[in-house]
Chain A
Amino acid sequence: MSRLPGTFLSRAGLAFGRSFWPLLAIVVIAGAILWGPWVSLAITVLAVTAALRLL
């Protein structure tokens, strides 16, 4: 029984992790409704810089 939540969490984490980049893209693009295009651009610059330096 105790394995069930752990298995579910690891599967959910895997599913989320594997679609991380398109989900981030949707957040950045759709998020412009909430915070405007300049904040979306700032998040994009930060994400690309972080990826180039760390990943």
Chain B
Amino acid sequence: MNRQQSDGPAVFSSWRIFSHPQDRHCVAFHVACLAAYCCAFWMYQHPKLVGVTGPWSRIAFVAASATMLGWISGINVGVNFHNHSHRPIFTSQFANRWFGRIWAFSAGWPSFFWEYCHVTIHHARLLAVDDWTLPRQNADGSFEDFRRYLFMHWPWRLMKHLWLDLTARRNLRRRSLRELVIFLALWSIPFWIDWKMAVWLWALPHWIANVWVMGSGMYAQHAGCVSKSDARPLSHSNVFVSKFFNLTMFNIGFHLEHHEHPRVHWSLLPELHERLKQELIDGGAHVVPYGNHRAAWLLAGNDARKKQFAEQAVGYTSNR
């Protein structure tokens, strides 16, 4: 793929801070997320200013803020930091390491742990029995119940698997411990300011981010899929082609393309999708016209809703 064609004018070719000029949008997203947290914290400390006059209005403020913060944190780490874990966004290794740490902590993760789960486990073992990042599989190969995966996976199953994996080898153990200490130092900051505020506007959003946003995303991206084989090389991931979804979600909808070519920059995935379109159609890839959110809604429902998810997007049906 010609990078110059898709990245804009040649003026960016001398860019030195970012590995790719489009990566500035990743930083903007993360800074906006941190600003949203700061805004919510400040307003929690000034209740009269926001019309909080009693317990019910406080519940309304916390419910609105925690939901929005959880939603954006789920995207910020599950999609935005995810891109960084495949292709670090800065040219400096030091900046990559430290920005990663102050990135993943905003959804309750040490950056190294998240990278380990995603790259070392999920990408390397996609849909195999030892890919413990995905829902467990029933005897017929289908995923376990949507709700069961959401509520059992984070943090319970993850903690168990991470403990077993990261304590198994000495070098991993040492690095994990260092990263965990750095994470705890950063993650505890809101608790030092006001522990009640931290529970409602820091820990609760992180639970929403991991369980509802990242959990449902992982489920939808691979629901109904089978591990890669010669017979079914393009049935390991689903493709979500909603333009608005992909615009606002760093093109994560092109998930099959991402798993096939994880080193391709996120901004180039729509172009890659167009190039591979016929191959996807011929290979029987499952393509839907919406994004992860609606897919999760359908997969959490009854058989009729699940059947809707199984339908193929118009224009992606093979004539063979």
Residues of A with Cβ closer than 8 Å to B?
11, 14-15, 17-26, 28-30, 32-33, 36-38, 40-41, 43-44, 47-48, 51-55
Contacts and interface: CB of A to CB of B under 8 A. Distances in A.
Contacts of B290: 54-55
12 contacts: A18-B247, A19-B25, A21-B248, A22-B32, A30-B39, A30-B43, A32-B51, A37-B51, A37-B60, A38-B57, A44-B64, A47-B68
Given A48-B71, A53-B297, A55-B244, A40 B61 contact: yes
Given A20-B248, A54-B290, A32 B28 contact: no
Interface in B56-104: 57-58, 60-61, 63-65, 67-69, 71-72, 75-76
A25 B296 contact: no
Contact of A29 (B28, B64, B247, B294): B64
Contacts of B67: 44, 48
Contacts of A52: 293-294, 296-297
Contacts of B52: 37
B50 interface: yes
Q: Which 5 A-B pairs have the closest CB atoms?
A: A22-B32, A37-B61, A36-B51, A25-B68, A37-B60
Chain A interface main SS type: helix
B294 A55 contact: yes
B245 A38 contact: no
B248 A29 contact: no
Contact residues on B (Cβ < 8 Å of other chain), bracket: 35 or more
A28 to B, nearest CB: 5
A45 B153 CA distance: 25
Interface string B289-300: 011111011000
Contacts of A22: 29, 32-33, 35-36, 72, 76
Interface string B240-252: 0010110110100
Interface string B1-19: 0000000100000000000
Given A36-B50, A51-B293, A25 B60 contact: no
Given A22-B36, A26-B39, 17 more contacts: A11-B8, A18-B29, A18-B248, A21-B248, A24-B68, A25-B32, A29-B36, A30-B43, A33-B50, A36-B50, A36-B51, A37-B51, A37-B61, A52-B293, A52-B297, A54-B294, A55-B294
